[in-house]
Chains A and B, each alone.
Chain A
Amino acid sequence: MIRHECLELLAPLITDHLVVTSQSGQRIEWSHLSKHEGNLLVGMMGCALGVGMGLALALPHRRVVVLESDGSILLSLFNLVTLANLHPQNLTVFVFDNQVYSGTRISEPTATAGKTDLEAMARGAGLEQAVTVRYLDGFRQEATAALTATKLCFIVCRVEESGIHREIPRPTVDLAENKYRFVRHVERTEGKPNPFVGRG
């Protein structure tokens, strides 16, 4: 199973969800596969899960989906303990673990290529519901359930490295543009203005 296959399967299942992606190849692949206005393409490693937690706490009636990577999670491991203790019931986290830092021209192993097991770490942090999927059928089953669940879901997707993110067009929407589009989408769907925008 590769990440792009999982995201292809996931994209049509997104409805009123708010989706936060970390900076990695999946940001490029997701922006290519999904034009959902509730996508927040975070352009930094180590930030998406924190942002997703904040969104989930601020909007407890909305399901928030975070698309993380192994490298990004490893950069902010404190997120696991905080997530376990805050335990927002409306958050679904997918960690696409391809065991590499896979940039535009690097492919260097992460700790998960060695001895580290993200599901075990998540469980140790207190996320007892953490699971690992290794095949597309398992991903389909877990993802479908997790998008409509009423509980916190944490799914490690053990994928093979692929270079698709190097071949498809990169997003042309810049960070600020994406932020405002996302915030306007939240305003529109929540029916109330965000305090920090629109004061000219």
Chain B
Amino acid sequence: MPMTSNSITMSVPPETTMRPSSGSLIYRQSIWTRITHWTWVVCLFFLLFSGLQIFNAHPTLYVGQESGVAYDNAVFSTYAVAAPDGPQGRTRIFGWEFNTTGILGISGPVDRPQFRGFPSSVTIPSYQDLATGRVVHFFFAWLFVTALLVWLVASLITGHLRRDLLPTGKDLADLPKDIAAHARFRFHHDRSYNALQKLAYCGVLFVLFPLIILTGLTMSPAMNAAWPWLLDLFHGRQTARTLHFLGMVLLVLFFVGHILMVLAAGPINELRSIITGWYRTSPATAVEGHKP
């Protein structure tokens, strides 16, 4: 329910008055956004590292229904080869092969190298244990999907989705200007997200999250019986596995960009808003926040 600017000013902590050069504090993030945001943070942490554990059980990705042994349909592979000066970790992406000793294919101490896809520092558990990786992965997968459903229902009811997230025509028109502003690390803090933010968040919530959930389900032989269209949609189980991995890579890239933007835009203010909901706007901003 929208409030007048007067009531907002009265509800903010006293410190506001001591910093007249800043804008006012507004209530920006609902409890639903904050709870689901942090649930996803925890889930994606465990899903990523248990997922790399699962990947390591067969560190090759293919295109198609099956995994070629008698023929080659691999698009990404990590492995070790015997080189003249000892074993070497290699990674092949399509036709290109790279020496990735120490990171992919072979990692660990030089005197006790481990032959594995991703290194022990980024897998849960640190040692090779597919069974445990799966236990962790599926627990957090359920939690992740549950949080997404909770968020979707809450965002539809509160209007968050329509009001704050879906890009408007004006957002798209402002896009070049917004990109230029981001490139110069110039951020304007107000209640609404800017065009790039909306596109990034919508991309994650409506493209990457569904992609990674559906490709995950496509790998389930039982789900293939229930929803055979999943296999058609993703061009086979092994392609789905590859896209699941690609979705992970894109989510990691989003994470890196997200953190850089938070740091650049003012980490204290940004963190406060996603923890408490309260956000300090730029001075020129007209107060348009509302209380829960």
Q: Is A bound to B?
A: no
Hey, which bits of chain A sit against chain B, CB under 8 A?
A: none
B residues sitting closer than 8 Å to A (CB atoms) are none
